[in-house]
Structure 1
């Protein structure tokens, strides 16, 4: 079978103007595995919009007579569902909400749901032989999940029971399949909203199966793969619309009681996923990311709306004169502008307006270094009283990201230090312009006791000469008193080092502290003279502080 010659017909199934570049036809399963297709016979790669087909596996499944149907189905993932990475991520998020404690099966359920919508469109509206495709895929040893899925197609396409299914179907499964078929039609053009209900229908079949039983279903559905390093925007936000089981959904079940619209307390409240769930969804999308990389992506996205505006460079003229040559001096111009040396060199006889010369003076553009913003020296508390930023939202990390990324955006350098107990610190290699290095530090975690790394202040400002003005920011709580009440490893008092570092930094210092009482605030102010103490009473207030500080510190300096 020459699959290549059927590709134009597969494209036409979705319209004359559908454009997708030629697929990757893999003659053997081994070749398909090298292309990233490992658990199925076909897939649509969402990162580069490429159809990948394992011809050997498709032939073994008896699908060599259906090239148009197989390839048109894969194109449907580009045209209909999920169409792009952002929608795929939202689809996974909705499915996960419908699978509490079974979220690991979200990719399979999302793929079944998308396949159901695409196949129904191709069978009913395009006249393709999707029912015959699944008849070829019928398996007498099918699992309850696959039997339930096939029964939905039998209902959708009005084919006799047993055409696509090979197991006995009880009344409970048949009722679920009836709801699934109605859901497919009701939410055909609003498929994001229906995804959670479909997941709820699949829940009991997933719970009843052993992990090894899912291999059969995975081999019979197509998979979408996303390449490593692909950005997936909009994933930190959480879909707050509640999941409704189709049996309770009046749009699906005519006998469901009409529910008065109730206000969802989460709706529109700006809810966000936790970092651990964000990382899980990235991996279920197909990205191979570490906890560190996932956390860095999470806090970058959360910080983005609060960053300073991208700077607009101005070019003011310098007051420094720039000689640009000579021109004739004429009567009526200021006498003091005559260049008598140039006049004498031109002629020993001075004839006003004829031999007199004057110098042309221009101006140089300002050196950009004259307008360089102050550097940022950032210290973020990572003691046991602080959350692990890779598991739950850490507003300390988020505030640090807003400050650091804003500084980097306008051309400043950043030194970031994460600290906890004695000798427990992680820092960048001095002041850097490397965003990845800064985020690596900010998303780390120690969770130990509290001991400010006073020796870093000493080495940064007292043992070296800082030529560039720097602002020091410390994000902590009342544990910041270890900065001034303890001594360094050389026995030098912390208060003395902190005061000297503040003076040497040249652009001030700010202590951003979560303090529970006015008395504690007064005590901190009394032991840290010269420092600007900004108090918050809730960690979430750090976002407002960081955004306001960045605008005040950096927007004026470059735009």
Structure 2
């Protein structure tokens, strides 16, 4: 329950005034009291206010607002939160786009500064008429943290507000720390004044953000620095996987703004031109996010990146729907009270039951027809993927062999064939079930073992004896030659070739002369093919060409 001072009438009035300030049509529920995240939490360490942009709900920590003696600022606090929904950032996709660019300019930053950026924009609008109420919040909030020194980042942020609202220096920042901050950061006050005069006059939010990052960089004491203890901090929710994925593709939209930022002298040539590759970018942003579910977000973003790489090499065929509308009628049964009346087959009932139809109806359910199986002539595909230490972890860097496996599996699955994957290195391999779903297969082939290379010949032999009409592809490098010539493995390979529709060795080698000499007993078999890829960048096109040759009619 909220304190008695915040009556429902008072909250409703402040809410309506806050909505009127932005003069936009927003669909938000009236504010609700903030419930502490932990039962034993000190309310001073809980947020003052925040908005759930998914549920469109604003929450206010009435207890903290009262302890700060800032009850009169309720309307300004609500207007601040509405501003995040109405305009800054307005969408979580835009928030994700800024965070991606932030990691490019400030690599290693663990706590995003975008909340400072949005608050500067929101407070400029709210502060046109209610700057005193916002000043009360920022000034009184410091009493809660009276024993803590203010971070340079927050000090500079408040100095900008003093300049923006024409306040005397020391109105918001601690007077006792002004001299020390000026000595530590010479020209801090002048820079705050210049920022307030420049930031809001810049044309376009992208240029604003680049100027913001270039200026605030000076006041970061380290990668762990961030918003820290400040009111209305971290009051914008985290983007979801779709927002992040879209943001990672937004680099082209920043080129003009980056060029202008360099011309103005805000950013160096290295900062403008050192855009990380997609997987490096994914690792940067996911490392800075709390609670990513043991890498689930990173894995999802990596999977989508590989899907785009696969689609560069394969034509996206329209997939048959997994769920078809039921229309086949089942065997009739007696309808009983409580069954769905729409299941009654009145035509069959009247024909079979005659005058008893009304008291003894029959029901028949509808079921879907079994989906079509594999296209005629398209074999099941079994892929052996070498993930030894000679190739990178596919989640950290593009792995050409992993991409080749995904191209082959996607090509087969789009023709309704089944695919099984065996990921190996040294020790026990990872063996998938027979897979029907392209996304599931793509995720499986992102697994990585590392270490030495040891093809699981026992798995290969057992599989060939169990299922003969299977196309088997081995993706590896020169280590495959060493594996094949050890012990009695060459005899095993010959047996596997004779027990398969075909066995293809897709190998990364400088040439095929030595390989054909080494694999001579297997090369002589009609069901064996050797495909040599000289450059790792050619693995994707080679896999696409191979799938075209093997799987097309």
TM-based fold match above 0.5: yes
Superposed CA deviations along residues 513-544 of structure 1, whole A, max 9, x for unmatched, are 22224544554674642433333333232233
Residue 431 of structure 1 corresponds to 434
Kept in 2: contact 1:29–1:54 (CA 8 A): no
- Matching of residue 103 in structure 1 with residue 109 in structure 2: yes
Quote the Cα distance in structure 2 between the aligned partners of 1:533 and 1:281.
Answer: 41
Point out the more displaced range, 39-48 or 473-482. Answer: 39-48
How far is 1:436 from its partner? 6.8
Distance 1:63 1:483, change over 3 A: farther
Residue 223 of structure 1 corresponds to 235
RMSD: 4.2
- 1:79-478 equivalences under 5 Å are 79-100=86-107, 102-105=108-111, 107=112, 109-124=113-128, 129-138=133-142, 141-166=149-174, 167-168=177-178, 170=182, 171-187=186-202, 190-207=204-221, 215-217=228-230, 219-226=231-238, 232-237=244-249, 239=251, 272-275=277-280, 277-282=281-286, 284-291=288-295, 294-304=298-308, 306-307=310-311, 308-311=315-318, 368-369=372-373, 371=375, 373-421=378-426, 423-428=427-432, 430-433=433-436, 438-439=441-442, 441-462=444-465, 464-466=466-468, 469-478=469-478
Three-state SS of the structure 1 residue aligned to 2:389 is: coil
How far is 1:283 from its partner? 5.4
Quote the Cα distance in structure 1 between the aligned partners of 2:132 and 2:418.
Answer: 60
Three-state SS of the structure 2 residue aligned to 1:303 is: helix
TM-score (norm 1): 0.72
Quote the Cα distance in structure 2 between the aligned partners of 1:57 and 1:480.
Answer: 66
Point out the more displaced range, 411-420 or 73-82. Answer: 73-82
Superposed CA deviations along residues 35-66 of structure 1, whole A, max 9, x for unmatched, are xx975222233554443333323333444322
- Matching of residue 515 in structure 1 with residue 509 in structure 2: yes
Kept in 1: contact 2:455–2:483 (CA 8 A): yes
Distance 1:177 1:248, change over 3 A: farther
Distance 1:257 1:515, change over 3 A: closer
Uncovered stretches (5+) of structure 1, i.e. residues with no partner:
315-364, 488-492
Uncovered stretches (5+) of structure 2, i.e. residues with no partner:
1-5, 322-368
How far is 1:449 from its partner? 1.5
Residue 54 of structure 1 corresponds to 61
Superposed CA deviations along residues 266-295 of structure 1, whole A, max 9, x for unmatched, are 78xxx63335x5244235455523236623
Quote the Cα distance in structure 2 between the aligned partners of 1:119 and 1:551.
Answer: 59
Quote the Cα distance in structure 2 between the aligned partners of 1:294 and 1:24.
Answer: 33
Three-state SS of the structure 1 residue aligned to 2:170 is: coil
How far is 1:29 from its partner? 5.9
Quote the Cα distance in structure 2 between the aligned partners of 1:215 and 1:496.
Answer: 66
Three-state SS of the structure 2 residue aligned to 1:433 is: coil
Kept in 1: contact 2:70–2:136 (CA 8 A): no
- Matching of residue 485 in structure 1 with residue 485 in structure 2: yes
How far is 1:229 from its partner? 7.1
How far is 1:419 from its partner? 1.0
Distance 1:374 1:14, change over 3 A: farther
Quote the Cα distance in structure 2 between the aligned partners of 1:45 and 1:283.
Answer: 23
Matched residue count: 478
Superposed CA deviations along residues 13-41 of structure 1, whole A, max 9, x for unmatched, are 333322234454325564798xxx97522
